[in-house]
Structure 1
Amino acid sequence: MSWLDQQPPKSVVYVAFGSLAIFSEVQFKELAHGLVLTGRPLLWVVRPDFTTGLSKEWVDDFLEENKEKCKIVDWAPQQQQVLAHESVACFMSHCGWNSTLEGLRNGLPFLCWPYFTDQFMNQSYICNVWGNGMKMESDESRIVYRERVRDRVEELLSSEEIAKKVQELKELAARNLSIGGTSYQNFKRLVNLMMGE
């Protein structure tokens, strides 16, 4: 959080792929270089088992070369606080349901990179129904190359249409979660049912 406090508002690309996604060494390196090519500050959650075959030396060298703008952590237990931070510009995500709701509630545009099961459905909602994000698409080799990563981040952050949708959804979520809102009422109804009322 102290690192985020030092970044300009709406500048940081936050990257987190949940607890199960695994990237190949090639894809990991392409993503890393693509994120650096954006020129934006980067906060990236990289679990120890996130990729196979990648040397610690490569990661250390990458971090040393990019220490001014890049922060890699092995877990973000306060993801809700990260997503609510004013310095975060967008969320590159696996589109797990919790991450989807947290990003939506905090008014962040998504770069969707689902890994399995419901994450693909969540991506479909984000990109095709709600309009608050874009897909990360690979080429025929099934790799998303660094130039594509860079270009997609810039497309996302320059889209006025997505920015408008993000703000509308953030306001809608705030209304629904407040006292009297539909989420509030549904939760209250559930509690009453559990208490036998």
Structure 2
Amino acid sequence: MHWLEEQPQKSVIYVVFGSFTIFSEVQFKELAHGLVLTGQPFLWVVRPDFTTGLSKEWVDEFLEVNKEKCKIVSWAPQQQVLAHESVACFMSHCGWNSTLEGLKNGLPFLCWPYFTDQFMNQSYICNVWRNGLKMEADESGIVSRETVRDRVEELLASEEIAKKVQELKELAARSLRIGGSSYQNFKRFVNLMMGE
């Protein structure tokens, strides 16, 4: 959180892929270099088992060379990070919790699903709500560093996506207020649990 405080407003790419996603060494390096190519600061959550075959020396050198713009951690308080004013966008596996948290905090998405419902969530984000873009692999199955750079630039420059993000944030806030749809649904659930 201290590192986020030092970053300019709406500048940071927050990157996290949930508990199960696994990247190959090649894909990990392409993503790392792509994030650097954007010129934006980025906070990347990397679990210890996120990739295999990556040498500690490569990671240490990457971090040293890019220490001004890059923060890699094994865990982050996601709700606090997504609510922080320095975060510009959310590169996500599109798990349902992450999707709802990103919507609530008014962030555009870069969608990179891994399995099951994440693909449906991506479809909603990109095709129905239109508050994000899909990361697309090339013929070899890799999302290249140039694609990472280009999609980040496209997302951050899109006025249409920025408008949709704000609309969805306002809808989410309204549903959580007293009398809102989420509030009412939760209240009904509590009443059912209490036998009322």
Which TM-score bucket, shorter chain as reference?
Answer: over 0.9
1:144 aligned residue:
143
1:96 aligned residue:
95
Alignment of 1:115-154 (within 5 A): 115-154=114-153
The reply to whether residue 7 of structure 1 matches residue 14 of structure 2 is: no
2:161 aligned residue:
162
2:189 aligned residue:
190
SS of structure 2 residue aligned to 1:89? strand
Q: C-alpha deviations, 1:147-176, integer Å up to 9, x for none?
A: 110000000000000000000000000000
User: Which runs of structure 1 show a deviation greater than 2 angstroms over 4 or more consecutive aligned residues?
Assistant: none
1:61 aligned residue:
61
Partner letter of residue 16 of structure 2?
A
Q: RMSD value over aligned CA atoms?
A: 0.4
Instruction: Work out the CA distance in 2 between the residues paired with 1:147 and 1:128.
Output: 23
1:20 aligned residue:
20
SS of structure 2 residue aligned to 1:15? strand
Q: C-alpha deviations, 1:35-65, integer Å up to 9, x for none?
A: 0000000100001100010001100000000
Q: Which runs of 5+ in 2 are unaligned?
A: none
Instruction: Work out the CA distance in 2 between the residues paired with 1:40 and 1:134.
Output: 17
SS of structure 2 residue aligned to 1:72? strand
Following superposition, the deviation at residue 93 of structure 1 comes to 0.1
Instruction: Work out the CA distance in 1 between the residues paired with 2:178 and 2:71.
Output: 37
Instruction: Work out the CA distance in 2 between the residues paired with 1:93 and 1:189.
Output: 31
Q: TM-score, normalised by structure 2?
A: 0.99
Instruction: Work out the CA distance in 2 between the residues paired with 1:56 and 1:104.
Output: 35
Instruction: Work out the CA distance in 1 between the residues paired with 2:145 and 2:195.
Output: 56
Instruction: Work out the CA distance in 2 between the residues paired with 1:71 and 1:192.
Output: 45
Following superposition, the deviation at residue 89 of structure 1 comes to 0.1
Q: TM-score, normalised by structure 1?
A: 0.99
Alignment of 1:41-120 (within 5 A): 41-76=41-76, 78-120=77-119
1:35 aligned residue:
35
Partner letter of residue 107 of structure 1?
G
Partner letter of residue 42 of structure 1?
F
- State percent identity of aligned pairs: 87
Following superposition, the deviation at residue 75 of structure 1 comes to 1.0
Instruction: Work out the CA distance in 1 between the residues paired with 2:131 and 2:177.
Output: 22
Following superposition, the deviation at residue 141 of structure 1 comes to 0.5
